[in-house]
Amino acid sequence: MIIRKSRQEIEGMARAGRVVAGTLALLRDHTEPGAVLRDLDTLAEDYIRSHGGTPTSLGYKGYPAAICISPNELIVHGIPGAYALRDGDIVTYDIGVTLDGLIADSAWTFPVGDVSEQALRLLATGERALYAGIAQARAGNRVGYISAAVQDAVEGAGFAVVKALVGHGVGRHYHEDPQVPNYGPPASGRVLAPGMTLAIEPMITAGSSEIVLHEDEWSISTADGSLSGHFEHTVAITEGEARILTRQPVETAVSASARTGAAT
């Protein structure tokens, strides 16, 4: 069952979304060689709480940290620990914030210092795929329009989408219907209507789309050890273009060019 939100609920999700976006911007500014993931998690949690929110992931199905931090070959659900970022890494922060009972969810992958040409292309492709999906998130379109647009953008650039993990509805619950796959035909899934709120989240790899679950029973990486990127926004379906509820205050150069389709 897809839960459509009222105007007030969407405004509430946008307030949660501003805290999510602020957290991502803060983490981006602290993304440098030597930064310890556990410290970045604390930084994120302090920011979230000082802005009136609670970290949605903490305690969700027993998850033990405030946010998920997934470097390099980790795709999602990395538990921040003692690892210190190194020059040439890429790192994904995935953040849910609950504010007044309403949730927003966003993830972003950033380069650490100087990264490879391939890594930069992967990041630009993930961003471009996210915005291609969002462009299809319109009333009257099926969920499959989003899925197909993401898949085309990723595979067209020579990368792969992870098929075992999907986007989702979001609102008073972290994960609601519908599922939003990052692959599949346009003529699939439910028809979108105003008031629906979706977390659209391409998870992509530079190699195969196979995944492995680690012994901590949370972190998931690419089976072949290839790099992975993850770009997620929470959006509200409107009468026109989707409204992005987790837009970051400052866009990276790479995301600005991804949005306009310029070559990177």
* Contact residues: ligand MF3, CB under 6 A: 57, 60-61, 63, 68, 77, 94, 96, 105, 107, 199, 201, 232
Residues 88-117 touching Co ion, rule: CB under 5 A, are: 105
Would you say 171 and 103 are in contact if contact means Cβ atoms under 8 Å apart?
Answer: yes
Of the two residues 35 and 229, which places its CB atom closer to Co ion in the complex? 229
Nearer to ligand MF3, 76 or 154 (CB): 76
**Could you tell me whether strands 160-161 and 176-180 are parallel, antiparallel, or unpaired per DSSP bridges?**
unpaired
Query: Residue 85, interface with Co ion (CB under 5 A)?
Result: no
Cα–Cα distance for residue pair 176/235, rounded to 1 Å = 14
Task: Based on the shown chain and the rule CB under 5 A, indicate whether residue 73 belongs to the binding site for Co ion.
Answer: no
Cis status, amide bond into 178, omega within 30 of 0: yes
How far apart are CB 45 and ligand MF3 at their closest, in Å?
13
Contact present, 54 and 75 (Cβ < 8 Å):
no
The partner in contact with residue 94, picked from Co ion, ligand MF3, none with C-beta cut-offs of 5 to 8 angstroms by kind, is ligand MF3
- Grouping H, G, I as helix, E, B as strand and the rest as coil, residue 178 is strand
**Residue among 73 and 232 whose Cβ is closer to ligand MF3:** 232
CB 232, min distance to Co ion, A: 5
Instruction: Kindly tell me which of 175 and 190 has the beta carbon lying closer to ligand MF3.
Output: 175
**First and final CA of the chain: distance in angstroms?**
40
68 binds, among Co ion, ligand MF3, none (CB under 5 to 8 A by kind): ligand MF3
* Pick 119 or 180: Cβ nearer ligand MF3: 180
Binding residues among 167-206 for Co ion as defined by CB under 5 A: 199
Distance in Å, CB of 80 to ligand MF3, minimum: 11
Q: Residue 166, Cβ neighbours under 10 Å: how many? A: 18
Contact (CB, 8 A) for 208 and 224: yes
Taking the complex as a whole, how short is the minimal distance between the CB of residue 113 and ligand MF3, in angstroms?
26
Pick one of ligand MF3, Co ion, none as the site partner of residue 77 (Cβ within 5 to 8 A by kind): ligand MF3
Taking the C-alpha atoms of residue 259 and residue 69, their distance in angstroms, rounded to an integer, is: 24
Q: Which residue has the CB atom at the shortest distance from Co ion?
A: 199
Compare residues 9 and 232 and give the one whose CB is closer to ligand MF3: 232
What residue type is assigned to position 111 of the chain?
A: P
Pairing of strands 228-230, 220-222: unpaired
The Cα–Cα gap between 138 and 200 comes to 13
Which 3 state secondary structure label does DSSP give 213?
strand
CB of 77 to ligand MF3, least distance (A): 4
d(CA 174, CA 103) in angstroms, rounded, equals 7
The residue type found at 190 is R
Residue 222 or 246: which CB sits closer to Co ion?
Answer: 246
Binding residues for Co ion (CB under 5 A): 105, 199
